[in-house]
Amino acid sequence: MNATPPTPASAPPKLTVENVSKRFQTERSQVHALDRVSLDVREGEFVCLVGPSGCGKSTLLNIIAGLDQPDIGRVTADGKPISGPGSDRMVMFQESALYPWLDVLGNVMFSLKLKPALTNAERREVARFHLKLVGLEKFEAMHVHELSGGMKQRVALARALAPNPRVLLMDEPFAALDALTREQLYGDIQRIRAERRKTIIFVTHNVREAVCLGDRVVLFSANPGRIREQFEIGLPRPRDINSVALAEHSTKITRALKSHLSSELAEVAE
């Protein structure tokens, strides 16, 4: 298990991030959130972005989602530049961002309502299918505030899956959950990914989580936000977060992360 450069895939990459830079201007200072970041993601690949907070992970995800624009560089999906949000790329946020004025089914149907080709019965059917996929078929009439944190993220997952996107962008979706709920979701997300064949970019600051879920773990460093190192994870699936092999991988990556962190601090001190 060595640090490897991104492996050239036989098929053209699904998503390419080409030389993307992004700065944020605040009143007092300027933040260099992303500095010449390039990344290729293969069709069907599960990529985890890991790094300390503030290293630009969310910024990159938002740019891929089309919610923000890079200052320079560009992102392409299937060779076409991304100019705005699109339902081929759905996002799951850390806070579920579910709508309290809609019930569970209404939330999952939100994106489907924007598809004029579907009848209402079809929309309901698609929404119910995805609620079942996340194990919440019995809760479709509940209000958002009645759900636990884990259930909310399941609904958010169903909502993101409902329009059948090819890419799923997940920004620390499990960070606010307790360990037990999280472990259940690791299992679910691996199962759903195998069933539904999605390309997934998953942001986390938890190395173990990244190793458990990712085909590849991409390490970021902050100030400016850069990709430092990438690791292919060849462990067989489904993976158990508590397995020894997984722990070995994450120890190695954690060590790499720490050495980048300390070199960063050294750079700052200079």
Partner 1 sequence: MKRSLTTLLTFLVLLVIWQELVHYGIWSHVLVPAPLDVAKYFWDVLRDGSLLSATGVTLKRLLLGYFAGLVLALPLGLLTARFKFVHDTLGVLALGLQTLPSVCWAPLALLWFGQTESAMFFIVVMGSLWSVLLATDAGVRNVPLLYVRAAQTMGSRGFHTWFKVILPASLPFVVSGMKQGWAFAWRSLMAAEIYITILTGFGLGNLLHYGRELNAMDAVVGIMIVIVGIGLLTDKILFSPFERMLHRRWGTAK
* Partner whose footprint covers residue 163, from Mg ion, ligand ADP, partner 1, none (CB < 5 to 8 Å by kind): partner 1
Nearer CB in complex with partner 1: 81/85:
85
- Binding segment for ligand ADP among 4-12, 56-64, 184-192, 249-257 (CB under 6 A)? 56-64
When asked if residue 56 is in the footprint of ligand ADP (CB under 6 A), the reply is yes
Task: Give the C-alpha separation, 5 to 25, whole Å.
Answer: 32
- Binding segment for ligand ADP among 50-58, 123-131, 211-219, 235-243 (CB under 6 A)? 50-58
Q: What is the DSSP string of 100-168?
A: TTSBHHHHHHTTGGG-TTS-HHHHHHHHHHHHHHTT-GGGTT-BGGGS-HHHHHHHHHHHHHTT--SEE
When asked if residue 218 is in the footprint of ligand ADP (CB under 6 A), the reply is no
When asked if residue 261 is in the footprint of ligand ADP (CB under 6 A), the reply is no
Answer for which of 24, 110, 129, 139 binds ligand ADP (CB under 6 A) is 24
| Nearest of 10, 17, 32, 67 to residue 230 by alpha carbon | 17
CB of 112 vs partner 1, minimal distance in Å: 9
Q: Which of residues 30-49 bind ligand ADP (CB under 6 A)?
A: 31, 33
List % helix, strand, coil for the chain (3-state, nearest 5): 40, 25, 40
CB of 22 vs ligand ADP, minimal distance in Å: 8
Length of the chain: 270
When asked if residue 29 is in the footprint of ligand ADP (CB under 6 A), the reply is no
Task: Give the C-alpha separation, 57 to 146, whole Å.
Answer: 31
* Partner whose footprint covers residue 250, from ligand ADP, Mg ion, partner 1, none (CB < 5 to 8 Å by kind): none
Phi, psi for 55 (deg, rounded to 5): -90, 5
Q: Given CA atoms 35, 171, 126, 14 in this order, what sign does their dihedral have?
A: positive
The helix or strand, by DSSP H or E, that contains position 47, with its residue range, turns out to be strand 46-50
Could you list the residues that contact partner 1 (CB under 8 A)? 62, 65-67, 84-87, 89-91, 93, 95, 97, 99-101, 110-111, 113-115, 143-146, 159, 163
When asked if residue 66 is in the footprint of ligand ADP (CB under 6 A), the reply is no
CB of 110 vs partner 1, minimal distance in Å: 6
Both structure tokens of 226 = 């850069």
When asked if residue 57 is in the footprint of ligand ADP (CB under 6 A), the reply is yes
Direct distance between the N- and C-terminal alpha carbons of the chain, in angstroms, rounded to an integer = 33
| Nearest of 92, 240, 221 to residue 163 by alpha carbon | 92
- Binding segment for ligand ADP among 24-32, 39-47, 89-97, 258-266 (CB under 6 A)? 24-32
| Nearest of 195, 101, 119 to residue 157 by alpha carbon | 195
Nearer CB in complex with ligand ADP: 62/111:
62
Task: Name the site residues for Mg ion (rule: CB under 5 A).
Answer: 58
